[in-house]
Copies of this chain bind each other. A is one copy, B any other.
Amino acid sequence: MRNTPQKNAIRKVFTDNDHPLCIKEILDLAQEIISTTNIATVYRNVNLLVEEGWLVKIEFPPLGTYYERAGKAHHHYFYCRKCKVIYVIPGCPLDLPEAVPSGFVHEGHDVFIRGICESCCNANEKCEH
């Protein structure tokens, strides 16, 4: 993998933003560094970085495809519908192996929680804790 300004910009976007990002966000942030960055280049580099094991692809229903840095400890996600940020929740709130029906073999899982994050909540008195 050859180093190019676009590729470095995309990597910088992820080191500067420690939460999952979608293609549009990656494109916008990369264009702040290299204004001519093309969406095809973003797709190509993101796919390369996933193959390389530097990024991980996540599908957050119903938001779509997001990417985050690989190598993190097991975790899940919380999506704030106000600020539209996907937060990482460390650890696993899943009751395993009871979550898996008897006789079934567990190979992996995803947990997606939706709601309102603490800072959006604090910004709004009506928010119920």
Binding site for B on A (CB under 8 A): 57-62, 76, 78, 80-81, 87, 89, 93-96, 98-118, 121-122, 127-129
Contacts and interface: CB of A to CB of B under 8 A. Distances in A.
A57 B104 CA distance: 25
Given A59-B59, A110-B112, A111-B110, A105 B129 contact: yes
Given A93-B95, A104-B116, 14 more contacts: A76-B99, A81-B107, A87-B104, A89-B99, A94-B95, A94-B111, A95-B95, A103-B118, A104-B118, A105-B115, A107-B115, A109-B112, A110-B112, A111-B111
A121 B78 CA distance: 33
Given A78-B104, A121-B105, A99 B113 contact: yes
